[in-house]
Amino acid sequence: MSSSHFISGRHWVWLIVVAFILTLFTGCKKDAKLTVLDPRGQPSGIFGRVGAAGAGMMANRNPDTQPTLSHDELVPLRMAPRLDSLDNKTIYLVDTGFAGGKEFLEEMQKWFSENMPSVKTVVHIKSGNAFVDSPELWPELKKKADGVVFGVGG
Amino acid sequence: MEGEFGVPTAPMVTARFADYVIRDGHTHGMNLRWTFPPYPVAWVSRETLYEYVHGDDPVTGVPLMTEVIDALTKPLTESEKNPEILERPQRPRLLEPDSETNLQRLFLENGWTDGLPIVLPTEERVAEMLAGTDHDPQEVVGMMSVTTHEEQKEYTVEKVAVNAVMAGARPEHLPVILAIAATKHPSIPSSTGSYGSMVVVNGPVAKTIGMNSSVGALGPFNYANSVIGRAWTLMSINFGDARPGDTFMATIGNGLSFTNQSCAENEEKSPWEPFHVRKGFKASESTVSIFRGWSVLTLGLGTSDGLLQSTKTFNSMGTYTFVMDPLAAKALKEEGWNEPGKLSEWLAEKSGSPFLRPEGINFIVVGGETNPIFHTTDYVHYKTASVDKWMPEGGIKLDEKPLRMPEVHECEDGLCILGM
C-alpha cells in the first residue's frame, strides 16, 4: 500500500506550504544580519623609540623597558637647510650597523673619490647596535660634517 | 641630525623597506629624503655593491648617487618645510551589521584572523565571554605594537574578550588570556629574523581549565592549550597591528606562531619547584610566562653533559630555554641538580660563551614521561604575570558542561592495554 493512501490531496497542499515556509525561514536565518565587535586595537598616541645608549637589543623589544614617546611630544621634523653644493664639503658616511652597510658605504666613498674628488668622505661606524641611541655621535657629526649619509637599513 | 643639529642628511634603506619607512615617516611627521638601493646589501660581493652604487634607485628610477647628492643639496619644498603628523582616527566599537558569510569574509580579507575560520564576536558571545572576569569591559589592559616604533594600539578587557571569542575560547579561558594581554608582548614581533613565542601556564588554573602538561602538551591535542595560544596570536595581529609587508617584516615567518607552544608546566611530575615559584610567585598563584626566540634547535638526550653539549654546539643570542620531559628533569636531580638555578650557573660557566648568563638559561618541565628528552630552544624568558588578578570573585567561570578533548591516556605501568 503506498503512502498516498494515508495523506489526502488537501494534506499534500498543506505539506508543500509548510515546506515552503520552512525553506524561507532557513534561508532568512542564513542571511540574517549579525552585529559584531571590531577586533582591532585603538590608536593610543604612544610610539616606541630607540633604546638608550648601551641597551641590549632585547631590551628594545621589551614593552617594560623600551622608551616611548607620546603623540603630544612628537614634533614635526624641521629639516636642516640644504647645502649649495657638495664641492669641498665633508660628508660622513655613517654605517648604522646592519650587515653589509660598511662595505656599501666604502663603495660609495670610492664613487665620490672618482667622480667628485673635492668632496671629503669619512666612513664612520656607529657605536652600539642599530636599535639604540649613540648620543656621542650627533655632536661629533655636527662639529665635523657638512652632511651625512646614513645607511644602509634593511 | 636634521632638526636638532641642523646637518643635512641622506638616509638610506634597501628598496625592500621603502613603503615601511615612508609610512613610518608620515606617522612621525618626518619627510626624510630617502634613497633606496637594491637589496640585499648583506652578504653580496663587492662587484654587486659597486653596481648598486653606480646604478639606479629601483623605487624611483633615478641614478642612486644623483639622489644622494640631491638629498643633501636640493632646496626644501614647502611640504618639507611644514611637515604634518598623521593622526589615526579611533575605530568604532561595532562593525556594520552583515550576514555571517560576509562577516567571515570581511575578517579574513582585512587580515584580522590567522587564516583559519573564526568564531564571529557577536555582542551576545562577547557578553558571555566577559562573564569570565569581574573587570570592567572598558578597563584598559595595555597597548602593543609588533614594531618597535609605530603607534601602539590600546586595548580594553572587551577587546581582549572579542579576540578570545574569535579564537574559539570560553569564559573559563579569559583570565589566562587577559594575563597574556596584560604583559603587552605581541607573540609575533616584527623582526626580519622571524620570531616565535611560547606561553607556559603555572598554578592551579591550569588544571581547572583542563590544560595539558603531559603527553603531546605542545601539540594539537588540548582545547585550552590551543585556544589560549591562538588568542595570543589574534591579539598580536589585531592589537599589534601586524600587516605582512607593511608593519610585519618577518621574512620567513614562524610556524610556532599559530598557537605559540601554549602549554602548562607538569608541576606534578617535575622534581623541581614550579617555574613561577622560581620567578617569585607562590605555588598557589596562577601565572603565565612569556618566552620568545626563533627556534627549537635540537632534541637532546642525557643529563647535564647533554645540556652543556647543546650550549656549546648551538649558537644562540645568549639565551636558552630547555623544554624537558619530567624524566629528564628527574635524571638531572639524581645527578645532584636539586635547584635549576645552580644548573644554569654551571652551564653558563662551562659553556665558554662570553654572552651566556645564568639568568638567560631556563628550564620548563613538560611532557608525559615517555622518553627522558629535552628540546633545546633559543628562547628568552621575558615575563611571568599573574592570572589571579583577572579571575572573577567566585573563581574560574566554568560552563555547565565544560568542553574537553580526550584526556591524555595515562598508562604508567604499561598494562592499560590489558585492561588492568
Cβ pair A33:B21 closer than 8 A: no
Q: What is the pLDDT of residues B120-176, one digit of tens each?
A: 999 999 999 999 999 999 999 999 999 888 889 999 999 999 999 999 999 999 999
Cβ pair A141:B163 closer than 8 A: no
Q: Is B184 on the interface with A (CB under 8 A)?
A: yes
Q: Which residue has the higher pLDDT, B89 or A33?
A: A33
Q: Is B21 on the interface with A (CB under 8 A)?
A: yes
Q: What is the pLDDT of residues B189-239, one digit of tens each?
A: 988 889 999 999 999 999 999 999 999 999 999 999 999 999 999 999 999
**Residue B419 binned pLDDT confidence (cut-offs 50, 70, 90):** low
Cβ pair B123:A63 closer than 8 A: no
Q: Which residue has the higher pLDDT, B94 or A51?
A: B94
Q: What percent of chain B has pLDDT over 90?
A: 77
Every domain of chain B and the residues it spans: 15-81, 98-262
Is pLDDT of A27 > 60?
no
Q: What is the pLDDT of residues B259-285, one digit of tens each?
A: 999 999 999 999 999 999 999 999 999
Is pLDDT of A29 > 60?
no
Predicted confidence at residue A1, as pLDDT, reads 42
**Residue B301 binned pLDDT confidence (cut-offs 50, 70, 90):** confident
Is pLDDT of A2 > 50?
no
Cβ pair B97:A33 closer than 8 A: yes
Is pLDDT of B79 > 70?
yes
Residue appearing with cell numbers 653606480: B54
Q: Which residue has the higher pLDDT, B68 or A75?
A: B68
Instruction: Dig out the grid coordinates for B358 from the structure.
Output: 645564568
What ipTM did this prediction achieve?
Answer: 0.86
**b/e map of B165-193 (b: 16 or more CB within 10 Å)?**
bbbbbbbbbbbbbbbbbbbbbbbbbbbee
Cβ pair A100:B42 closer than 8 A: yes
User: What's chain B's Rg over C-alpha atoms?
Assistant: 25
Helix (H) or strand (E) holding A121: strand A120-125
Strand pairing report for B263-264 and B196-202: parallel
Taking the model in full, what pTM does it have? 0.83
Q: Is B127 on the interface with A (CB under 8 A)?
A: no
For testing contact with chain B, the best of A29, A33, A35 (most B CBs within 10 A): A35
B41 alpha-carbon distance from chain centroid: 28
Is pLDDT of A5 > 60?
no
Is pLDDT of B382 > 60?
yes
